[in-house]
């Protein structure tokens, strides 16, 4: 039973964080973009330097379609929250 309780807590936390991110993407995509740029930093390791330093613009792709992505993320998050609340 303890494993179920831990999974329920993880489910609720993931659903809550996802719902907050989804609401941010739907209503304030510029704020999410600003936060992403503030949290983004470059790092490299000696062995994987070339692979890690390749710039991938996934964030800009998601922010161009922020409402669609936000709605999908909100639906998934609400599903996680509901399953976490129902499975007692």
- Please tell me whether the overall predicted TM-score, pTM, comes out greater than 0.75 for this model: no
Any idea which of 23-27, 33-37, 39-43 has the lowest mean pLDDT?
39-43
DSSP 8-class letter at 47: T
Count how many domains the chain has: 1
Cα distance between residue 51 and residue 32, in whole Å: 26
- Are 84 and 11 in contact by the 8 Å Cβ rule? The answer is yes
Of residues 71 and 64, more confidence is placed in: 71
Q: What is the pLDDT of residues 52-63, one digit of tens each?
A: 666 667 777 777
Residue numbers of the domain that contains 22: 2-86
pLDDT at 41: 64
Note the pLDDT of residue 75: 92
User: What pLDDT is recorded for position 44?
Assistant: 44
Q: Average the pLDDT over 44-48 and give the result.
A: 55
* Residue pair 66/25 in contact by the 8 Å Cβ criterion: yes
């Amino acid at each position: 039973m303890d494993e179920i309780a831990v999974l329920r807590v993880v489910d609720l936390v993931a659903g809550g964080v996802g719902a907050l991110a989804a609401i941010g993407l739907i209503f304030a995509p510029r704020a999410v973009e600003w936060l992403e740029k503030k949290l983004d930093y470059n790092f490299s390791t000696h062995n994987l330097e070339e692979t890690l330093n390749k710039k991938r613009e996934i964030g800009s792709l998601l922010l161009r379609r922020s409402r669609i992505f936000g709605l999908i993320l909100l639906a998934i998050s609400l599903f996680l929250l509901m399953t976490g609340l129902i499975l007692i």
